């Protein structure tokens, strides 16, 4: 897959996510990890994961895929969103000045490590994998050859080209559906929720297993109206079989003025989901 388009005089356009950054020679995109080097898109964090762990698959969260298995999970620096509540902001929003000190872990290394850790899958997670798609994809095809599954934990802001390409190697996704309000989404994450809704519909129609997570944040997306809009969209545009994880927020990063989400609010969200016809609604972060 070609991840960029040539424009003119060495300027290129990145086609990984819908920000579609226009990059002059040596410029770096909004995610801070994709750059124009000699007229080509270079993913600066390729083979430089900053977080690597073996996790239970339920932690992604995926409750209806490879149940009870372990997944080899990795993430890099950078993100294409600027969520004010980010719980991984130390890696997602940090600069990449210390990149050369991070040990190199090639796609072959990742696959071998996953196999020797008795994992049955590899998860691209912790930060947004779309921004390190060239690295994830290189790992993913090798993993597939060795019988490992590939899991994308994402904010769903890929271009349609990337979604199409994911169908070749990704087996399961958990996508964040952060809110339903266009203005709030723009203000608090720097993105367009309509792109995420479009991609969710594309994924639901594909063979990729899909689950959805909404972090329920007080006075941001916890009104009955907004939770009902989200549940209604999942039920009617994606399917009542698509699992919905409603997770409790805790104050973090730039959103420290709000309280933790109460259990009652999470139960209210679950009830709303069930009333809209969703068969699988799960609480997260409340026990």
Q: Is 82 in the site for ligand SF4 (CB under 6 A)?
A: no
Whether the Cβ atoms of residue 100 and residue 48 lie closer than 8 Å to each other? no
> What is the C-alpha separation between 216 and 199, in angstroms, rounded?
21
- Of the residues 12, 21, 83, 110, which one makes contact with ligand SF4 according to CB under 6 A: 21
Cα separation of 149 and 142, whole Å? 10
For the bound state, the minimum distance from the C-beta of residue 64 to ligand SF4, rounded and expressed in Å, comes to: 29
Exactly one of 36, 71, 73, 80 binds ligand SF4 (CB under 6 A); that residue is: 80
Query: By CB under 6 A, is residue 76 in contact with ligand SF4?
Result: no
Q: Does 30 bind ligand SF4 (CB under 6 A)?
A: yes
Q: Which residues pair with 28 in a beta bridge?
A: 35
DSSP type of residue 174: E
Question: If binding is defined by CB under 6 A, does position 137 make contact with ligand SF4?
Answer: no
**Residues 43-53, buried b or exposed e (16+ Cβ, 10 A)?**
bbbbbbbbeee
C-alpha span between 137 and 126 (Å, rounded):
16
Determine if 45 is a binding residue for ligand SF4 (CB under 6 A): no
CB nearer to ligand SF4: pick between 47 and 71: 47
CA angle at residue 157 from 155 to 162, to 5 degrees?
Answer: 115
Q: Contact with ligand SF4 (CB under 6 A): which of 10, 11, 20, 251?
A: 20
Q: How far is the CB of 161 from ligand SF4 (least distance, A)?
A: 11
**Between residues 16 and 143, which has the closer beta carbon with respect to ligand SF4?**
16
Residue 46 binds ligand SF4, judged by CB under 6 A: no
Do 175 and 213 meet the contact criterion of CB atoms below 8 Å apart? yes
Residues 181-200 touching ligand SF4, rule: CB under 6 A, are: none
Cβ–Cβ < 8 Å for 96, 49: no
Residue 162 near ligand SF4 by CB under 6 A: no
- Give the residue with the Cβ less far from ligand SF4, 126 or 282: 126
* Binding status of residue 131 toward ligand SF4 by CB under 6 A: yes
Interacting residues of 106 by C-beta distance below 8 A, sequence separation 6+: 47
DSSP-derived letter for residue 156 is S
Residues binding ligand SF4 (CB under 6 A):
14, 16-17, 19-21, 29-31, 34, 80, 131
């Amino acid at each position: 897959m070609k991840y960029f388009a040539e424009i003119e005089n060495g300027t290129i356009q990145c086609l990984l996510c819908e920000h579609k950054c226009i990059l002059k020679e040596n410029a770096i995109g909004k995610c801070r990890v994709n750059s124009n080097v000699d007229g080509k898109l270079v993913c600066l964090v390729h083979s430089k994961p900053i977080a690597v762990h073996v996790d239970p698959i339920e932690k992604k969260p995926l409750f209806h895929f490879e149940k009870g298995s372990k997944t080899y999970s990795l993430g890099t620096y950078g993100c294409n969103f600027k969520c004010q509540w980010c719980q991984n902001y130390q890696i997602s929003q940090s600069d990449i000045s210390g990149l050369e000190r991070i040990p190199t872990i090639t796609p072959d290394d990742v696959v071998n490590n996953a196999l020797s850790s008795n994992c049955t899958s590899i998860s691209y997670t912790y930060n947004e994998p779309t921004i390190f798609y060239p690295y994830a994809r290189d790992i993913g095809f090798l993993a597939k050859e060795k019988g490992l599954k590939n899991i994308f934990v994402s904010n769903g802001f890929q271009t349609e080209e990337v979604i199409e390409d994911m169908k070749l190697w990704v087996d399961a996704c958990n996508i964040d559906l952060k809110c339903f309000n266009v203005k709030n989404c723009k203000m608090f994450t720097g993105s367009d929720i309509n792109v995420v809704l479009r991609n969710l519909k594309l994924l639901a129609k594909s063979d990729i297993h899909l689950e959805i997570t909404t972090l329920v944040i007080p006075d941001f997306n916890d009104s009955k109206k907004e939770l009902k809009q989200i549940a209604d969209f999942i039920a009617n545009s994606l399917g009542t079989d698509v699992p919905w994880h409603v997770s409790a927020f805790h104050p973090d990063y730039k959103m420290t003025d709000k309280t933790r989400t109460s259990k009652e609010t999470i139960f209210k969200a679950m009830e709303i989901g069930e009333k809209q016809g969703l068969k699988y609604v799960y609480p997260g972060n409340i026990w």
